[in-house]
């Protein structure tokens, strides 16, 4: 009985730490001019969202890649599991598969918009076909505990707001997208002497590169939600153990 409180104790400790860190961050970073810039961006959120929908169709590449990961992962796991997998596990497996395929394309000099967009499109269509011809009914629905949903939902909401909010000059994700942009510029995943991180490509950067094929930073940021959601299955397994 006592062990049942262990995850809640860990979550409470983590929440206290995060709150303290947030107060310190806001007190040291979001001051003066930076605070004014952030406040101005936040108050202009409605106009910014309207601009995204009306003037940046390339941002839809982000949801396309997420859908491709979900459907591809579901098609792969359906053959390995006795029942249809939950959406979080399907998304995790699909995004890993997409990132590895994108890395393979980059290794042979095909890390270019037409190939990456084709990868997302073909994966989506193949997943849809497999979904409709499946003999077992599909149940791509979340199967998480209340605690897991309570922890996951605020983070996904925060990630969505971060993705669609106007970027600022100190936006960390803006700088992390420099490596996928470099790979897209040269069309291959190869090391560059002036960029030390290019020697260590990650799966997330492959996904960000797929989001950037249309030139939309928002699409790449939306894929960050997929990366976060892909971390749910391992966390769920650890929690239930």
- Whether 30 has a pLDDT exceeding 50, the answer reads no
Instruction: Decide if 5 is inside a domain.
Output: no
- pLDDT mean over 180-184: 86
135 alpha carbon, distance to own chain's centre: 30
- The band of 115, judged by pLDDT with boundaries at 50, 70 and 90, is very high
Position of tokens 């011809």? 133
> At residue 58, what are phi and psi to the nearest 5 degrees?
-65, -20
Instruction: Decide if 171 is inside a domain.
Output: yes
Domain count, the chain: 1
- Whether 102 has a pLDDT exceeding 70, the answer reads yes
- pLDDT mean over 158-177: 61
Instruction: Decide if 14 is inside a domain.
Output: no
Rg (CA), the chain: 20
**Residues of 161-172 as b/e, b for ≥16 C-beta within 10 angstroms?**
ebbebbeeeeee
Q: What pLDDT was estimated at residue 119?
A: 92
Cβ contact 207:103 at 8 Å: no
Instruction: Decide if 54 is inside a domain.
Output: no
- Domain with 211, as residue range(s), is 59-240
- The band of 122, judged by pLDDT with boundaries at 50, 70 and 90, is very high
Q: What pLDDT was estimated at residue 129?
A: 87
Instruction: Decide if 141 is inside a domain.
Output: yes
Instruction: Decide if 221 is inside a domain.
Output: yes
Instruction: Decide if 209 is inside a domain.
Output: yes
Identify which has the larger pLDDT, 42 or 154. 154
- pLDDT mean over 71-77: 86
């Amino acid at each position: 009985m006592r062990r049942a409180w262990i995850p809640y104790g860990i979550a409470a400790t983590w929440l206290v730490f995060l709150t303290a860190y947030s107060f310190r961050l806001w007190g040291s970073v979001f001051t003066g001019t930076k605070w004014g810039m952030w406040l101005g961006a936040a108050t202009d959120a409605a106009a910014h969202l309207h601009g995204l929908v009306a003037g940046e169709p390339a941002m839809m590449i982000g949801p396309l890649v997420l859908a491709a990961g979900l459907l591809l992962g579901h098609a792969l796991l359906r053959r390995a599991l006795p029942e249809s997998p939950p959406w979080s596990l399907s998304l995790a497996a699909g995004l890993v598969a997409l990132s590895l395929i994108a890395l393979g394309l980059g290794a042979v000099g095909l890390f270019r918009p037409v190939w990456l967009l084709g990868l997302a499109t073909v994966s989506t269509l193949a997943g849809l076909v497999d979904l409709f011809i499946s003999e077992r009914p599909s149940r791509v629905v979340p199967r998480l505990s209340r605690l897991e949903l309570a922890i996951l939902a605020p983070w996904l909401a925060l990630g969505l707001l971060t993705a669609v909010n106007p970027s600022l000059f100190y936006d960390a994700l803006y700088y992390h997208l420099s490596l996928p942009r470099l790979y897209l510029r040269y069309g291959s995943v190869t090391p560059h002497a002036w960029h030390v991180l290019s020697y260590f490509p990650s799966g997330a950067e492959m996904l960000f590169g797929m989001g950037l094929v249309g030139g939309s930073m928002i699409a790449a940021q939306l894929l960050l939600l997929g990366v976060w959601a892909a971390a749910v299955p391992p966390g769920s397994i650890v929690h239930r153990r």
